[in-house]
Amino acid sequence: MILVDTGPLVALAAPNDPDLHACVQLLQKHGSELHVPAMVIAETSYMIETLLGSAAEEAFLRVFETRRLIAVDATPEDYGRMADLVRKYRDLPLGTADASVVALAERLGVSEVATLDHRHFRVVRPGHVDAFTLLPASPAVPGGKGRTAKRRGRS
């Protein structure tokens, strides 16, 4: 099982994304293993709709209907852990979607995370392993998240 962050999902939806090729390879190699936290689905849906429109958002959501990607819901305990992580990494800031990836990884014993946000996920120290294995190994734009945040009008 691999937990998926927002970046690779947005890259897969955006035909001109510099990380598209690496994310397509990731999907082809690990398709049945990719699980997406519900918080990440919400963040990704918002970003895809903002960047690419409602039709692209609909197409993204339909992928879960086909079970090509598996949605994972948080438990009440996961929300508590997410709050702890947001507090601990408030200077980063970590954010709810990233915190959900960490909390679910800890609960499910997952050590691999599909993300373009290597900056955040290299800093975070999960409770169950020394560090996450990040896929793809090196995003086209270091840090990934800054590129995505700028697209949303934030810097």
pTM of the model: 0.88
SS3 44: helix
Cα dihedral 154/62/33/134 (nearest 10)? -10
SS3 of 87-104: HHCCCCCCCHHHHHHHHH
- Give how far Cα 88 sits from Cα of 46, 66, 93, Å: 26, 37, 9
User: Residue 154: is its pLDDT beyond 50?
Assistant: no
CATH superfamily of 2-150: 5'-nuclease (3.40.50.1010)
- Judged by average pLDDT, the poorest of 48-52, 53-57, 92-96, 146-150 is 146-150
**Is 66 in contact with 130 (CB distance < 8 Å)?**
no
